[in-house]
Structure 1
Amino acid sequence: MPRVAVVGSGPSGVYTAQCLVERDPDVLVDVLDRLPCPYGLVRYGVAPDHEKIKSLQNNLRTVLEHDRVRFLGGVEVGPSCVTVVRLRQLYDAVVYCVGAAGDRRLGIDGERLPGSWSATEFVSWYSAHPDAGADGFLTGVRSAVVIGVGNVAVDVARILARAEAELSPTDIPQAALLALAASGVREVHMVGRRGPSQARFTTKELRELGGLPGVDVTTDARELALDPGYADPSGLPAAQRRNVEVLRGWARPETDSAGRRIHVRFFLRPVALLPGERGRVGAVRFERTVPDGVGGVVGTGEFEEIRAELVLRSVGYRGVPLEGLPFDAALGTVPHTAGRVLRNGVVAPGEYVAGWIKRGPTGVIGTNRPCAKETAASLLADLTDRQLTDPLPLLRSSGVEPVGWEGWRAIERAEAVWGASLGRGVVKLPDWAALRAAVGPGA
């Protein structure tokens, strides 16, 4: 029976595994992940208060419990563990679904000041990613600036403004819950350099901001009016038109009763982060912009400073190279044709990609389905059975001890016990030590 390795257990990896076993009754699929926990960004990227989206884990679980699919966590692909070359020796084909783990930088003065972070780092912290080392995000913070107007920016703005009672029923780690509950954040500014009709958030995410208890959401009518699509939204696509109408409803005076405020700003381009007390970031300097008539913006030479002891940049993800695989640095993806990896323009037998490392960080979770189907179709059209033996004993003999499905189930049980001890529901274990302890030896 042919053996395929899928590297990455997020949606793109699991959908690829699903396509393979559904289309070929003989193929065996090992889903490898560096972490001992499956589900990728569904576990470590979806906000804890988005329980409906997080419930997608149940669908992914069904695939990973298929009798011809095997989850092998704790397996890092790279020079320090299992190399790309070795993986190709162990399997008839390998599909890399490693996502886009990097984040784009602003490239402006002061970006490395203490208190300036990527939204990715903040999300990792409140999602209990075991690599998240920082925990001082909110120390001394009264005002935060989120640079970007996509769904991730909306997520972090919403989490900053949520009350403890709203977050406690979720699986947010205890340390993050307590830090957010004690936070002094009162103002959150979410800022885009272009206009409302060009913002990347979805209407559903945007509307959630307006429903937060005790939070006043405002926009600046003068900024909205700069966007030609605001005055006459009839020519906009339906999604952008709905966004504009939501924002129009927030263009009103602030109320005095709100405990926290979210300001949604447009046509402001960050040019520098300015130091405040103790060398930490204290403000962001923006240049006002206006539409250039061809979909972009130009600076006006007018500037505004917004106080901020915390700055989170959310301006996009980027793929990172995996040693042993070709990589297009300009696009942040692996070169391919219909999912087949290209080495120097030539198809590399038995090597494939799916997900963000294939197409770039675009689309929603569901976009991974057609992407996975295309790659799976290419793989199955090429697949030859080399009569390979089970790679698991070979991995173990080389010093790799994968965490199997029972190890993951042990983590789930430990998180339920941990949450119950805190008087909460399931609560994520916060670090590598806790995860390893939950798995125990020989899992």
Structure 2
Amino acid sequence: MAYVVTQSCCADASCVVACPVNCIHPAPGEPGFGTTEMVYVDATACVGCGACATACPVGAMVPDAALTTKQLPFLDLNASYYDAFPHADRTPVALVPPQRRLSRPGPFRVAVVGAGPAGLYTADELLKHPEITGVDVYDRLRTPYGLVRHGVAPDHASTKLVTRLFEAIERQPRFHYRLGVDVGAAGGLTLADLRAHYDAVVYAVGASADRGLGIPGEDLAGSVPATALVGWYNGHPEQQDLDVPLHHERAVVVGNGNVALDVARILSRPVEVLERTDLAPGALDQLRASNVREVVVLGRRGPAQAAFTVPELIGLAALEDVDVIVDADPALLTGDDQRSALLRDLAERPVDPASTKRRIVLSFAVSPVEVLGADGRVTGVRVARNRLAEVDGSVRAEPTDDTFVLDAGLVVRSVGHRGTPVAGLPFDERTATVPHHLGRVEPGVYVVGWIKRGPVGFIGTNKTDAQETVETILDDLDAGLPAPTGSAAALAALVAERHPDAGDLAAWQRLDAAERERGARSGRPRAKVTDPAEQRSIAAPPAVRRRSLLRRTVSLTS
């Protein structure tokens, strides 16, 4: 029996280190690590011990005998990696080097701004060093986990299992949350405040904006950025009032990355499937009444250049509750690459014309040239067919004069994330990142995650990224960073003054428990609380909640 890596792989390399026979690649230090779509098990070397399955935070390691029919393509996917990249050397990689110890004894305290995967992996790496006596993780929201909570699609529950790892990180005694604290906002804490009270400050604030299309009509009502729509169905408090028109039978998604496929699935899957997920209650109510029957996903280049990953495509092809249609010139599907082969198989599937299933149409070599509208709202998209040309070894799309119109009531712009300027830090408008060297913006100030490297990589990519930044922090601490002038007590008083309702780990655990309890009543993993005031009320300590309830009771009876 050999193990196989399946779709939910987060590529954080926990399995690589756990494997006693070095049969999982690419490993840290090998070409491709951190950039490949997933890691792969070499079936000829795997001894079936299950160590990788135990270490995997998202349940992606499956014995080959336990694969479902829909998961069988992952056998070929794992094997094909070793056809291209054979690994004859079986030297175990789990040779743990001696832990680095700082030359200066500390104690040192570090602030991490951002409680998503990058921030939590950074906290974990820092807390491996006993000289770091405290890591405080700040987030402007009252809930941690960033894009794992507000970005991963609700029907990808296995991917969200990485929160178990985050829970282990946050339970460490030197770890602290300061939630509901918007660093850099008017009237709140500033970078100068943090620098005065910490030895180092790390920004892990991600890339929260979308890239624009640059075409007429993209600002019409009903044309929404993917980040906003994803936040809407994932319960982001700032997106619950988003205008998402679902009255038309067709929606159009521009772009064909993994996020575009997520959006297409959520808009098209049966509501009884979505009811078993943690999809936000308000969005779920709207999707129950949705008239959308078809979601067209527009990709400007060919199947071989599609931005979605192969594991994501395998997962989409495995759906039985949605018809997946491939709209592409057959000549574009002749390639021997994995994407083309999978899409060719999809294109050859018979589709019952009488089917009542909703459908996802994957359209290639097309670009939107105008979002059409009437009375200020979207009515459709004018689309141009593209001519594909190879230039300097890459395939480029050139729009032609051959255009057609897709009637639609909703257009989702999903052509990539973009970082936004961070108060007090330099910003490169071209790359939409903070300039740095190995994570160092300047001694004492650092970046990690998408604001450091741009919106590339997977959840686990943040682990190696955090390791690099933490090594730089340790170098600077050894070199002698200026000691903070403020104490931990002074910092706590400052936070209490400017953010009196800031939440800690206990507050998050109370909110988390309440969401799980609400979800259990209806057979769901959780029912997210999306209103900030309600989040604050639920997360408050019991004594505070009792006083608040008493005040409301007195107010009602007086």
* Shared fold (TM-score, shorter chain, > 0.5): yes
Alignment of 1:282-431 (within 5 A): 282-294=379-391, 295-341=395-441, 348-383=442-477, 384=481, 386=483, 388-390=486-488, 391-422=491-522, 424-431=524-531
Out of 342, 364, 368, which is 1:246 matched to? 342
Out of 525, 533, 537, which is 1:437 matched to? 537
Structure 1 residues 221 and 99: alpha-carbon distance in aligned structure 2, compared to 1, 3 A threshold: closer
1:109 alignment counterpart: 216
Structure 2 unmatched ranges of 5 or more: 1-106, 546-558
Aligned-pair CA distance for 1:50: 0.7
Cα pair 2:419 2:450 within 8 Å, conserved: yes
Secondary structure of 1:23's aligned partner: coil
Superposed CA offset, 1:412-439 (max 9, x none) = 1221232245454421112212211211
Cα pair 1:216 1:255 within 8 Å, conserved: no
1:238 alignment counterpart: none
Alignment of 1:256-295 (within 5 A): 256=353, 257-276=355-374, 278-294=375-391, 295=395
d(CA) in 2 for partners of 1:202, 1:281: 30
Out of 312, 321, 328, which is 1:214 matched to? 321
Alignment of 1:163-174 (within 5 A): 163-174=270-281
Structure 1 residues 426 and 274: alpha-carbon distance in aligned structure 2, compared to 1, 3 A threshold: same
Superposed CA offset, 1:276-323 (max 9, x none) = 5x5421111111111122221212211121111110010000000011
Structure 1 residues 129 and 399: alpha-carbon distance in aligned structure 2, compared to 1, 3 A threshold: closer
d(CA) in 2 for partners of 1:424, 1:47: 15
d(CA) in 1 for partners of 2:367, 2:132: 55
1:231 alignment counterpart: 334
Which letter does structure 1 place at the counterpart of 2:290?
S
Secondary structure of 1:337's aligned partner: coil
Superposed CA offset, 1:362-396 (max 9, x none) = 11111111111010000011124726521222321
Cα pair 2:181 2:499 within 8 Å, conserved: no
* C-alpha RMSD over aligned residues: 1.8
Which letter does structure 2 place at the counterpart of 1:410?
R
d(CA) in 2 for partners of 1:101, 1:76: 14
1:134 alignment counterpart: 241
Structure 1 residues 87 and 170: alpha-carbon distance in aligned structure 2, compared to 1, 3 A threshold: same
d(CA) in 1 for partners of 2:142, 2:134: 20
Secondary structure of 2:535's aligned partner: helix
d(CA) in 1 for partners of 2:144, 2:160: 13
Cα pair 2:177 2:505 within 8 Å, conserved: yes
TM-score (normalizing by structure 2): 0.73
Larger radius of gyration: 2
Structure 1 residues 202 and 71: alpha-carbon distance in aligned structure 2, compared to 1, 3 A threshold: same
d(CA) in 2 for partners of 1:221, 1:119: 24
Superposed CA offset, 1:247-288 (max 9, x none) = 101224642214211110011111001115x54211111111
Structure 1 residues 254 and 284: alpha-carbon distance in aligned structure 2, compared to 1, 3 A threshold: farther
Answering whether residue 115 of structure 2 is matched by residue 9 of structure 1, we say yes
Aligned-pair CA distance for 1:135: 4.4
d(CA) in 2 for partners of 1:125, 1:168: 16
Out of 121, 125, 148, which is 2:255 matched to? 148
Which protein has greater RCO, CA pairs closer than 8 Å, 6+ apart? 1
Answering whether residue 193 of structure 2 is matched by residue 86 of structure 1, we say yes
Which letter does structure 2 place at the counterpart of 1:375?
T
2:56 alignment counterpart: none
Structure 1 residues 195 and 213: alpha-carbon distance in aligned structure 2, compared to 1, 3 A threshold: same
Structure 1 residues 221 and 422: alpha-carbon distance in aligned structure 2, compared to 1, 3 A threshold: closer
d(CA) in 2 for partners of 1:63, 1:420: 25
d(CA) in 1 for partners of 2:289, 2:501: 40
d(CA) in 2 for partners of 1:221, 1:353: 41
Which letter does structure 2 place at the counterpart of 1:213?
E
Structure 1 residues 140 and 406: alpha-carbon distance in aligned structure 2, compared to 1, 3 A threshold: same
Secondary structure of 1:51's aligned partner: coil
Cα pair 1:138 1:180 within 8 Å, conserved: no
Structure 1 unmatched ranges of 5 or more: 234-240, 342-347
Out of 123, 130, 134, which is 2:230 matched to? 123
Secondary structure of 2:402's aligned partner: strand
Secondary structure of 2:460's aligned partner: helix
Aligned-pair CA distance for 1:399: 4.4
Secondary structure of 2:224's aligned partner: strand
Aligned-pair CA distance for 1:132: 0.8
Structure 1 residues 197 and 24: alpha-carbon distance in aligned structure 2, compared to 1, 3 A threshold: farther
d(CA) in 1 for partners of 2:179, 2:360: 39
TM-score (normalizing by structure 1): 0.92
Aligned-pair CA distance for 1:167: 1.3
d(CA) in 1 for partners of 2:313, 2:499: 48
